[in-house]
A = this chain, B = another copy of it.
Amino acid sequence: MKISKAKIKWVKSLQVKKYRLEEQSFVVQGLKGVTELLKSSFETTLVTGTPDILDAVRLGAPHKKKVEWLEASATVLESMGSFQSNDTVLAVARMREPLIPVANENKYFLALDDIRDPGNLGTIIRTADWFGVDQIIASPQTADFYNPKTISATMGSFCRVNVFYTDLPSYLNGVTAPVYGAFLNGRNIHHQPFEGGGVVVIGNESNGISPAVEQVVRNRIFIPGTGQAESLNAAIATGIILDNIFRSK
């Protein structure tokens, strides 16, 4: 069946956070993301794509009974996405309540201090998933987990990583495990032992870690570089820190 004009309008409305919250629904674009979504425990309500891709995806998800499968032209699909590369398939799923991560002496998780760019947030989630980190705490000013650009940049990892938004200073104050954060005057990460578990704080793209959060960072680390760049991109720093943590495990 073909997608209706009203449905197209509804999907487009989910680009906006206010409507996502009202509808408790979000959009997943592209073949990789939609395939991972259908394998996950998220409740998928709608899949729309060009006839050939739609058939292929549907054949791969025979157990999904409650999904509405609707055909759309490539042009219509592009108009529903927030950017171009949507691989001619798009799905809508129901949001779910994030779990409150419990700090644990044996596990690492991330704390994001105002990561504003949805693409950066998505890449950080994908990187966390690569290293088996499945819990992230994020400040209320961090980009929205359900923003289509975030979801898209995760390359399917949104299904496996839990992001919980809360006030960072008060949350981190209650954590007894080590809290790490990157600062220019920190300890060379190559000489930093990482044992047990802990929290890694990743600062804002322009301003780094905020003063209030800095108060609760008990272990200052530094990624050494010999070049002249002033800083590393937040997602790149996340990848390097996690690789350093897991190499000593």
Complex Cα distance A102/B184, Å?
33
Q: Tell me which of A12-20, A42-50, A121-129, A164-172 binds B.
A: A121-129
- Cβ-based interface call for A203 (8 A): no
* Copies assembled: 2
**Residue A187 at the chain B interface, CB threshold 8 Å:** no
Determine if A227 and B160 form an interchain contact, defined as CB atoms under 8 angstroms apart. Answer: yes
> How far is the CB of A120 from the nearest CB of chain B, in Å?
10
In the assembled complex, which residues on chain B have CB atoms less than 8 Å from the CB atom of A130? Answer: 223, 225, 227, 229, 231-232
A178 at the interface (CB under 8 A from B): no
Are the C-beta atoms of A233 and B131 separated by less than 8 Å? no
Whether the pair A235, B232 counts as a contact (CB closer than 8 A) is no
Contact-residue bracket for chain A: 35 or more
- Interface residue A10 (Cβ < 8 Å from any Cβ of B): no
B132 and A231 form a contact (CB under 8 A)? no
Contact A129 B227 (CB under 8 A): yes
Task: Evaluate whether A133 and B227 lie within 8 angstroms (CB atoms) in the complex, with A119-B119, A190-B247, A243-B244 already known.
Answer: yes
Q: Does A160 contact B236, Cβ atoms closer than 8 Å?
A: no
- Inter-chain CA distance A119–B160, complex, in Å, is 26
Q: Which residues of A contact B (CB under 8 A)?
A: 32, 119, 123, 126-134, 153, 155-157, 160, 190, 223-233, 235-240, 243-244, 246-247
A/B interface sample: 10 pairs, CB < 8 A = A32-B230, A126-B232, A129-B228, A132-B225, A132-B228, A153-B233, A155-B230, A223-B243, A236-B236, A243-B243
Question: Which 10 pairs across A and B sit closest by C-beta, in order of nearness?
Answer: A132-B227, A236-B239, A132-B226, A130-B225, A129-B229, A130-B229, A129-B227, A240-B243, A190-B247, A157-B229
